[in-house]
Structure 1
Amino acid sequence: MKRIALFLMTNLAIVLVLGIVANLLGVNRFMSANGLNFGALLGFAAIMGFGGAFISLLMSKMIAKWSTGAQVIEQPRNATEQWLVDSVARLSKAAGIPMPEVAIYEGEPNAFATGPSKRNSLVAVSTGLLQSMSREEAEAVLAHEVAHVANGDMVTLTLIQGVVNTFVVFLSRVVGYLVDSFLRRNDQESSGPGIGYFVTTIVCDILFGVLASIIVAWFSRQREFRADAGAAQLMGSAQPMVGALRRLGGMQAGELPNNVATAGINGRPGWMALFSSHPPIEQRIAALQGR
């Protein structure tokens, strides 16, 4: 599972809930009582689309901690935790960002970075990764996560998600209006949307939302290449990141909740690669080596 997937799922769920609430409150009826009001619909779609995306962003760190059981290191209890805190502090200073929260959790090899802003971010690493990697390799993974924070990737993806959400909400209601008008073409007495509109918009919200996730996943894959390059810059060489990727490519990465699996996850095979937030490891290594 990939880093941004839970973000997408949470976002889609929020949009669906907001859409159902809007239906129950009669907002859709207001926009379509006398024919579809495209201006009002576009404004409504933008509020819904960006609202869902930003709510997901604000919840991202809380969900990550809850879903992985990650424990923030307030006071290092051993040499490993002290090394983790010191490494993230050094990398963050080199990247020019405030020190993120540092957390550790039980699990197979993996790591993640999340949070709504550079000043409110979290970098977490699993015990499995720390046990199976050399210090240099683990530091390269941390550098990759710090680069995500420095690049503002969650905010960037939130803005992209907000744009595609807007189109999803807008097109779903246009299609719903057309379907409802067709089903009620001989009904001259009723006004406003009927059941066909409500059902169609919900179905289209889901279908278009899945298609939108492909677009967001593509952008996420491009951000992974940039984070790898950022890690190489922070480490002073591409070789540590290449070594970390090779190591991760040869082991079974731990399953994470979908919004937080970042470094070192292979892309999905076949057509499922369209939904992958990460490129295949061999492509990431080739990009780092300039091939």
Structure 2
Amino acid sequence: MFKRIVLFLATNLAVLVLLSIVMAVFGVNPQSQAGLLVMATIMGFGGSMISLMMSKWVAKRSVGAHVIEQPRNEAEQWLVSTVRRQAEAAGIAMPEVAIYDAPEINAFATGPSRNNSLVAVSTGLLRAMNRDEAEAVLGHEVSHVANGDMVTMALIQGVLNTFVIVLARVVGRVIDGYLSGNREGGPGLGYYAIVFVLDLVFGLFASMIAMWFSRYREFRADAGGARLAGRDKMIAALQRLSQTYGESTLPKTVQAFGISGAVGFGLRKLLMSHPPLEERIQALRSAPVEQARGTVVG
């Protein structure tokens, strides 16, 4: 846990320092309208893009993953050969394959592009799932990569971050000017408190939008897993997860790309990265045979 916290803080500090240097070099003044837009774009997209570029490195060190470079046993050989076969079928370059030590049944995919990715499975998954179920989980993760979900999520997050930064400061100036009566001068002290609150409020709505897309792509990855491994295998894997799933120990940076996520109800459901397993199983069962095979973007 301590190692994950240190990596998280170090990554975010590096992002902030780099973006501050870029803004200083280009003489960006965040108080002007043009400067605000430039600052928001740099801050909004810079953080998400840098996180995307570092995603494999951070993920491997966060979970202590062992990348299989030379299979040491039959299980590792099966993992590598299965991912290779699925990657070829999906039309992507062979991902790195890794195992990480965790008791829960889980797996995740990450990486900066379709041809530079990582697929990792937990030791808990290898112990609890049979080969058919594990094959379906691998197909689900390979489909995340083939569909370009990591890049798409980073772009969506960048757009939302930019929107939040701009809107919070524009609305903050209007409210501050109205409350202080100083509509022509610079921002008052209350401006920064107002912006802080608006960042939280607008950020909450932005998270809801991002998580809506995250839930949508889980259905698509399930369909891709059904195509690569078979619908019955994908349904069986999700049923196994519904019987044994516990709280995920994955770091926040890769939780959204795990095979399953935390369960939420009511308003909390709007902030969940994964739809309920029952809904995912029903979607596979009710889909036409052609659609159930999935659509992996080539």
TM-score category by the smaller chain? 0.7 to 0.9
Q: Is the CA contact (8 Å cut-off) linking 2:29 and 2:36 kept in structure 1? A: no
What is the match of residue 64 of structure 1? 59
Relative to structure 1, is the Cα distance of residues 29 and 162 closer, same or farther in structure 2, using a 3 angstrom cutoff? closer
- Can you give the 5+ residue segments of structure 1 that lack an aligned partner in the other structure? 1-5
What does 1:1-291 correspond to in 2, within 5 Å? Answer: 17=16, 30-32=29-31, 37-107=32-102, 108-185=104-181, 191-235=185-229, 237-253=230-246, 254-261=248-255, 262-265=258-261, 267-290=263-286
Tell me the matched-pair count: 274
1:279 alignment partner AA:
P
The one-character-per-residue Cα deviations of 1:113-133 (angstroms, maximum 9, x if unpaired) are 011111211000000001001
Q: Is the CA contact (8 Å cut-off) linking 1:109 and 1:252 kept in structure 2? A: yes
Q: Distance in 1 between matches of 2:84 and 2:20?
A: 44
Q: Is the CA contact (8 Å cut-off) linking 2:109 and 2:119 kept in structure 1? A: yes
What is the match of residue 296 of structure 2? none
Relative to structure 1, is the Cα distance of residues 186 and 156 closer, same or farther in structure 2, using a 3 angstrom cutoff? closer
Deviation (angstroms), 1:208: 1.9
- Can you give the 5+ residue segments of structure 2 that lack an aligned partner in the other structure? 288-298
Q: Distance in 2 between matches of 1:151 and 1:132?
A: 27
Q: Distance in 1 between matches of 2:231 and 2:183?
A: 68
The one-character-per-residue Cα deviations of 1:238-276 (angstroms, maximum 9, x if unpaired) are 110000000000003342112323113354222211111
Higher relative contact order (CA 8 A, sep 6+): 1
Q: Is the CA contact (8 Å cut-off) linking 2:56 and 2:111 kept in structure 1? A: yes
Q: Distance in 2 between matches of 1:120 and 1:133?
A: 27
Q: Is the CA contact (8 Å cut-off) linking 2:133 and 2:234 kept in structure 1? A: yes
Q: Cα RMSD between the aligned structures?
A: 3.1
TM-score by length of 2: 0.82
Q: Is the CA contact (8 Å cut-off) linking 2:28 and 2:35 kept in structure 1? A: no
Relative to structure 1, is the Cα distance of residues 29 and 147 closer, same or farther in structure 2, using a 3 angstrom cutoff? closer
1:151 alignment partner AA:
N
Q: Secondary structure of 2:110's match?
A: strand
TM-score by length of 1: 0.84
The one-character-per-residue Cα deviations of 1:136-177 (angstroms, maximum 9, x if unpaired) are 000100000000000000111111111111110101111232
Q: Is the CA contact (8 Å cut-off) linking 2:44 and 2:160 kept in structure 1? A: yes
